[in-house]
Chains A and B, each alone.
Chain A
């Protein structure tokens, strides 16, 4: 059973547009929800994270929106740039130092 599901599987956005990646989870005990960004040949890097006591968190052009009742959270990338082209993983855990369960990842391509 896949506990964390991402959608869509891939995404193509024009430069300057908004990229939206969604994630749904099963385990209601999850209380930490990070997004990771991975460039080819590199390890994933923490982009932004949220806890369920807030509905939204913004860091620069990146925003996480969290809907506890729907068990969903999403990543919004405003003013998308070609340099944002990467693989994005959502993840969840029952604490910041507990093992993360990852989604399968989505590939974002931002066209110039």
Chain B
């Protein structure tokens, strides 16, 4: 989607290894979010950010950490990947009154 890029698009990793997913935006939006999408669960919020170095936990934050050192970048880290973290991860950005714009997602497989 225009203005928001997720990398990598696909990743296979081994259990116990750290993994970092990147979300990059060119819209200068203040708000950024990480969701995971799983069958039967829809979209669940992992972490979100209201500005540089201003982050907070969502409903499924255990096992994940985030960092936002610049407005344009929001990083999601799995400290020690587990099979339960196999999922599709979406980053979203928002500006007041316009709702969310989602990235194209990262498909992560933990083996």
Contacts and interface: CB of A to CB of B under 8 A. Distances in A.
Interface of A: 32, 34, 36, 41-46, 49, 89, 96-97, 99-105
B42 A46 contact: no
A89 B102 contact: no
A107 to B, nearest CB: 10
B108 to A, nearest CB: 15
Nearest to A42: B104
Nearest to A102: B43
Interface residues of B, number: 27
Nearest to A3: B59
B97 A97 contact: yes
Given A97-B96, A99-B48, A43 B42 contact: no
A43 B103 contact: yes
8 contacts: A42-B105, A43-B105, A44-B90, A46-B100, A96-B97, A97-B30, A97-B96, A105-B43
Given A46-B101, A100-B100, 6 more contacts: A34-B100, A36-B102, A43-B102, A45-B1, A46-B100, A99-B45
Contacts, number: 56
Contact of B40 (A42, A99, A102, A104): A104
A6 B43 CA distance: 13
Contacts of A43: 1, 90, 92, 102-105
Nearest to B41: A104
B102 A45 contact: yes
A66 B98 CA distance: 19
Nearest to B42: A104
A64 to B, nearest CB: 13
Interface in B12-27: none
B43 A44 contact: yes
Nearest to B30: A97
Contacts of B102: 36, 43-45
